[in-house]
Amino acid sequence: MDGLKACSVLVTGSNRGIGLELVRQLSEKRNGPEWIFATCRDTEGPHAQDLKDVAAKHREVKIILLEVTDHSSIQAAAARVTEHLQGAGLNLLLNNAGIIRLSTLESETAEDMAEVYKTNVIGPMLVSQAFLPLLRKASQESPQPGMSCSKAAIVNVSSGGGSITDLRLWHLGQNVNYRCSKAAVNMLTRCQSLGYAEDEILCVALNPGWVKTDMGSMTAPTTVDTRVRVILNTLGRLSEKDNGAFLNWEGTALPW
């Protein structure tokens, strides 16, 4: 992750799983970010304890309340982050929070489809809108040419399950709500990459692969710390040539 030199990073859904590990490894990085905004939707409950333990050891970690399906919560989080940054911009936004509802094509419900879409697609869209002024500021004030995650970037955490052309894991889980939401977040990323190109804000959809988390389950082949190490290295290497791409954890382009 030596290549990643973002001064400020925000991670949604950072109280467990991939989000928590991103915060942990960023906070342990030598010459790491000055600000790590670790957001979660229940900052006081028992589910925030692991994150609180990380924040207690690293003063650059600021825990911010953020429910990605709630517009006023997003606005309040953006205001708090703006306050912390004291006039500086935000370099890297990681839209990581996500949910899945196990289902088959027959058992899928309107409620689950809507809830998953609201969290996995509308959430990243609204969060990106709210933090856009800070991302723009970071880009404008950066002396670096081109695009990078160290300068200004939106990384939408997607999934191989969102690929329309590669449905290899269909037999392991149909989960139509999740597949549709991740295909949509890929499209959101493409739109953002066009819309924010002039601002030199890099936008990518990143598939972290199947990892051992509550969502991935313990049958996943890879531990979260191993995978997040690779992801952070990859983020450090991304540039304008990756803008609008759908990538796996190593930065390889995936079929849409």
Q: What is the binding site for ligand NAP (CB under 6 A)?
A: 12-13, 15-19, 40-42, 47, 67-69, 96-99, 119, 157, 159, 207-208, 210-211, 213-216, 220
Task: Choose between 88 and 220: whose C-beta lies nearer to ligand NAP.
Answer: 220
134 or 205: CB nearest ligand NAP: 205
In which residue are the tokens 């404008």 written? 140
Cβ closest to ligand NAP, residue 67 vs residue 242: 67
Q: How far is the CB of 3 from ligand NAP (least distance, A)?
A: 22
**Cβ at position 200, least distance to ligand NAP in Å:** 25
Q: Which amino acid is at 173?
A: G
Query: What is the C-alpha to C-alpha distance for residues 146 and 137, in angstroms, rounded to an integer?
Result: 15
User: Which CB sits closer to ligand NAP, 82 or 207?
Assistant: 207
Give the CB-nearest residue to ligand NAP.
17
Q: In terms of CB distance, is 42 or 225 closer to ligand NAP?
A: 42
Across the beta sheet with 153-157, what order do the strands follow? 61-65, 35-40, 8-11, 92-95, 153-157, 202-207, 246-248
Residue 196, CA distances (Å) to 38, 102, 154, 241 in order: 24, 34, 10, 14
Instruction: Tell me the two tokens of residue 180.
Output: 């549709």
Q: Is 26 helix (H, G, I), strand (E, B) or coil?
A: helix
Q: Tell me how crowded residue 11 is: count the other CB atoms within 10 A of its CB.
A: 28
Supply the minimum distance, in Å, between the C-beta of residue 183 and ligand NAP: 12
Q: How far is the CB of 174 from ligand NAP (least distance, A)?
A: 15
For residue 71, the minimal CB distance to ligand NAP (Å) is 12
Q: Where would I find the H helices in the chain? A: 17-28, 49-57, 71-85, 110-117, 123-141, 176-195, 224-237
